[in-house]
Amino acid sequence: MKITNFNFGMVKDGKRLDQGKNPYTLVYLLNSSKVFKLLKRPYSNNMAVLSSYHRFRVNFNSKLALAEKLRHNQSLILPDEICVDKNNQINGFSYEYVDLPDLTSFFNESQDIESITELYILIASLVEKLYSDGVIAPDLINKGNILYNPKSKAVKFIDYDGLQIDSVQSNSISKTLMYRQNPVLSQPKYRNHHNLFTKEINTMSLLIGYLEAVTGINVASLAIFQKIMYYEQNGKMDEKRKQFIGEVFHNVGIFDEEVINGYTNLFSAVEPNPAPLPIIKKISLEPSLKQKSFTK
CATH of the domain at 84: 3.30.200
Which of 54-63, 148-157, 168-177, 253-262 reaches the highest mean pLDDT?
Answer: 148-157
Same domain, 155 and 80: no
Number of domains in the chain: 2
pLDDT tens digits along 59-77: 888 999 899 999 999 999 9
What CATH number is given to the structural domain containing 276? Answer: 1.10.510.10
Q: Which domain holds residue 172?
A: 103-294
Same domain, 155 and 244: yes
Same domain, 290 and 227: yes
Residue 4 has pLDDT above 60, yes or no: yes
At 222 the pLDDT is 42
Same domain, 9 and 27: yes
- Output 252 or 216, whichever has higher pLDDT: 216
Indicate the pTM of the whole model.
Answer: 0.78
How far is residue 176's CA from residue 55's CA, in Å, rounded to a whole number? 13
Same domain, 170 and 32: no
Assign residue 156 a region (left: φ > 0; alpha: ψ between -120 and 50; beta: otherwise): beta
At 292 the pLDDT is 63
Between 13-22, 23-32, 255-264, the lowest mean confidence (pLDDT) is in 255-264
Burial class for 262, CB neighbours closer than 10 Å (0-12, 13-18, 19+): buried
Calculate the average pLDDT of the chain.
77
Same domain, 79 and 162: no
Alpha-carbon 273 to chain mean position: 18
Same domain, 279 and 259: yes
- Output 245 or 107, whichever has higher pLDDT: 107
pLDDT tens digits along 101-151: 899 888 888 888 889 999 999 998 899 899 999 999 887 878 888 999 999
Same domain, 173 and 151: yes
Same domain, 112 and 227: yes
CA angle 158, 161, 166 (to 5 degrees): 105
Confidence band (pLDDT; 50, 70, 90) for 173?
A: very low
Same domain, 112 and 246: yes
At 253 the pLDDT is 66
What value does the mean pLDDT take over residues 22-43?
Answer: 82
Question: Residue 28: how many CB atoms within 10 A of its CB?
Answer: 19
Residue 155 has pLDDT above 90, yes or no: yes
Residue 290 has pLDDT above 60, yes or no: yes
Domain endpoint, select from 78, 96, 114: 96
At 270 the pLDDT is 45
Same domain, 125 and 252: yes
Same domain, 37 and 110: no
Domain endpoint, select from 67, 96, 125: 96
What value does the mean pLDDT take over residues 219-224?
Answer: 54
Domain endpoint, select from 64, 96, 128: 96
How far is residue 234's CA from residue 240's CA, in Å, rounded to a whole number? 11
Which of 111-120, 135-144, 230-239, 267-276 reaches the highest mean pLDDT?
Answer: 111-120
